[in-house]
Amino acid sequence: MKTVAVDLESGEGCETFTMQGLCPAEGKTAFAHNGKLYSARADGALPSGEEAKFVLPDTDFGMAGNKTLTALRFQGDGAFTLTISDGKRTKTQTVTMRNGVARARLSMRGNTFAIAFKLMQGAKIRGMTAELQTLG
């Protein structure tokens, strides 16, 4: 399992294996990543007109080389819009959790993938698992 740091101002995310300096700051939980301060929030309400969006520019899911991303499995509640790109194609679909789980079928090939989630009102993603096939 990997931890992802999300810059709440830009919505940009990156994979990280450690969160340094986890501490309370102005009623929020803050941590440092690559010399920048981030805010970690759970069940936070967004100001009117703002969107809950997460962007992971490029990930290889820890597996170098060409691969097929067959699906992404999610644990959580509610619904969200998933946009994913393999560098050549981009797919967008609405994912709705049923009984706390969902599976988005993708069948996309590439070395890395860019992933974006736009959460709908009340949606929560607690976990994501990638289903991958390596190409021989």
Instruction: Answer whether 7's CB lies under 8 Å from 13's CB.
Output: yes
> Could you tell me if residue 62 is left (phi over 0), alpha (psi between -120 and 50 degrees) or otherwise beta?
left
Q: Which CATH class is domain 50-136?
A: mainly beta
pLDDT for the residue 18? 44
Kindly list the domain boundaries of the chain, sorted by start residue: 1-43, 50-136
Q: What is the mean pLDDT of residues 105-125?
A: 88
Residue 33 has pLDDT above 70, yes or no: no
> pTM for the complete prediction?
0.65
Residue pLDDT, tens place only, 47-94:
556 566 777 778 888 888 999 999 999 988 899 999 999 999 999 999
Is the alpha carbon torsion for 109, 69, 62, 52 positive or negative?
positive
Least confident of 3-12, 15-24, 86-95: 15-24
pLDDT for the residue 27? 55
Residue pLDDT, tens place only, 116-125:
888 887 788 8
The more confidently predicted of residues 102 and 134 is 102
pLDDT for the residue 56? 79
Amino acid letter at 3?
T
Q: Give the confidence band of 2 by pLDDT, cuts at 50, 70, 90.
A: very low
pLDDT for the residue 47? 54
